[in-house]
Structure 1
Amino acid sequence: MRRILSALAAGATAAALGLVTAPAHATTTDVTMSFGMSYGNSTTSGTIHFTDGYTATVSGAVHAASGQRRICSEATNGDYYLSGPCSAWASAGGANQPFTFDLRIAVPGGVQRVYLTMYDEGGSGVAREYCTRSGCTRVY
């Protein structure tokens, strides 16, 4: 009995310290979350549709006020990571660039977090946020 309790306590301690990151097993439901971020006058906005399966669909547009801008995506679920696609480049004075990305992580809970990063023409990330089924948070 002591061994079982010690093992349970050790597992709880490791999880509390973030040493163990398992896939999310929470009940998933269809949710559509709006996102938006800017860098100077360059902007992107749209929606992320988290399905009740393994996928999330990101749809939006990117606008460049100076230089060129594009949006790249990533998805996570615990230690599972997916480097997703990027939009076409939007150029200052040009049309907004629409994009749609399908992201899929085939583990229980599917896509739990989507990261969106705005890049400049030099390849530097200039704005970043992540979104979950509960909302979006600006990283930089």
Structure 2
Amino acid sequence: MRKALLTMATAAVATIGLAAAPAHATASDVNMSFGMSYGASTTSGTIHFTDGYSATVSGAVHAASGARRVCVSGENGSAYDNGDCSNWAYAGGPNQPFTIGLRLTVPGGIQRVYIYMYDEDGTNVAQEHCTRNGCTRDW
């Protein structure tokens, strides 16, 4: 009886261990395109999700009026990387390119990336979030 219980307990632990394998162990590199606009101001680019803990967001922001900047952050459950922001793009000026790296050293690494567009007053005027499966406009 004791041996049977031990065998069942060992099998249960092995099954749970296989089911709970870290997401980064099976994930592969993915490139996800993003893009959003506020009026005629736009941002677009690519998020490179790695098979490890990180993601890199590369793109450009264009200001059709006033000034615009893009900020990005990443998350995995309750773990956050507050990321960084692009330089300001100004109406009549060139597009402002940016590359921002994100990293979380938790199983699965960066799972969701948030992209925020701000105006010159610091108001969040557009936002979307992206996963390895696609992007959704939040507003």
Q: TM-score range by the shorter chain?
A: 0.7 to 0.9
Structure 2: how far apart are the matches of 1:99 and 1:123?
18
Structure 2 counterpart of 1:83: 82
Structure 2: how far apart are the matches of 1:129 and 1:25?
26
Matched, 1:52 2:51: yes
Identity %: 70
Point out the more displaced range, 25-34 or 100-109: 25-34
Structure 1 counterpart of 2:126: 127
- Letter paired with 1:25: P
TM, length-normalised to structure 1: 0.82
Structure 2: how far apart are the matches of 1:25 and 1:63?
38
Query: Residue 83 of structure 1: CA displacement?
Result: 0.6
After superposition, the CA RMSD in angstroms is 1.1
Structure 2 counterpart of 1:92: 91
Matched, 1:73 2:48: no
Query: Residue 82 of structure 1: CA displacement?
Result: 1.2
Query: Residue 36 of structure 1: CA displacement?
Result: 0.1
Structure 2: tracts of 5 or more residues without a match: 1-20
1:6-63 alpha-carbon deviations (Å, 9 max, x no partner): xxxxxxxxxxxxxxxxxx9333110000000000000000000000000000000000
Rg larger in structure = 2
Match runs of 1:22-33 below 5 Å:
25-26=22-23, 27-33=26-32
Structure 2 counterpart of 1:5: none
TM, length-normalised to structure 2: 0.82
SS at match of 1:75: strand
Moved segments of 4+, more than 6 Å: none
Matched, 1:102 2:87: no
Structure 2 counterpart of 1:41: 40
Query: Residue 102 of structure 1: CA displacement?
Result: 0.6
Structure 1 counterpart of 2:110: 111
